[in-house]
């Protein structure tokens, strides 16, 4: 296993180098790490608010950017796929954690910009934008009284499973999806529709 704080560019480079060596080359990068730290502007003093904002941006935007840079350099000449995991929060806003929405919107724009830049090198970049997902990160929130309200946001009356998000990632990482480079695939059960 290769691990580290990917918001540190030197660690991100080391992780890519080690993964490339262990796997005998990189074909796919999935940027799925993320944090969701509360930092409500109306409820927090500036220093803790700023710290939560900066950590959110570091983990959710800078770390994927570093990994895309180093992984793309490994994929040059042979091609590959990068799939970023964003959020519907990039489109609808997150008032209690604005850095989360901003980081995911930034990840969308960064991915699309690099999709254009890297296509001539045979590297595709696409994004999955889930809504609520029944993961360790959100299971506690879904068990609270608000959990039923969250599930009712989708006309399916539930949140996504990790397997549903993984299926979207698997497709976008596949050779069959190369021409979907630059796409953002919503996986939110019609809980938020964008135009």
Q: Which residues are tagged catalytic? A: 87, 100, 104
d(CA 103, CA 94): 11
For residues 97 and 49, the answer to whether their CB atoms sit within 8 Å is no
Q: Are β-strands 184-187 and 123-130 bridged in parallel, bridged antiparallel, or unpaired?
A: parallel
DSSP code string of 59-88: IIIIHHHHHHHHHHHHHTTT-EEEEEE--T
Residue reference for tokens 């964008």: 194
Which token pair is 189?
């059960």
Please name every residue paired with 30 in a beta bridge, in sequence order, or none if there are none: 83
Angle, in degrees to the nearest 10, between helices 9-23 and 63-75: 40
- Indicate the DSSP class of residue 58: I
Output Rg (C-alpha) for the chain, integer angstroms. Answer: 17
Could you tell me which residues come within 8 angstroms of residue 131 by beta carbon, excluding any fewer than 6 positions away? Answer: 87, 88, 153, 154, 159, 160, 186, 187, 188, 189, 191, 192
């Amino acid at each position: 296993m290769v691990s580290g704080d990917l918001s540190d560019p030197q660690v991100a480079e080391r992780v890519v180098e080690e993964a490339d060596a262990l796997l005998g080359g990189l074909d796919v990068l999935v940027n799925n790490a993320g944090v969701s730290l509360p930092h409500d502007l109306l409820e927090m003093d500036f220093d803790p608010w700023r710290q939560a904002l900066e950590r959110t941006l570091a983990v959710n935007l800078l770390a994927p950017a570093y990994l895309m840079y180093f992984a793309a350099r490994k994929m040059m000449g042979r091609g590959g796929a990068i799939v970023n995991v964003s959020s519907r929060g990039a489109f609808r806003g997150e008032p209690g954690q604005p850095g989360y929405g901003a980081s995911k919107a930034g990840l969308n724009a960064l991915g699309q910009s690099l999709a254009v830049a890297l296509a001539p090198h045979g590297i595709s970049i696409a994004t999955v934008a889930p809504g609520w997902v029944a993961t360790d990160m959100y299971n506690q929130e879904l068990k609270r009284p608000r959990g039923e309200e969250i599930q009712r946001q989708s006309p399916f009356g539930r949140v996504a499973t990790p397997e549903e998000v993984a299926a979207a990632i698997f497709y976008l990482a596949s050779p069959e999806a190369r021409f979907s480079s630059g796409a953002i695939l919503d996986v939110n059960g019609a809980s938020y529709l964008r135009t």
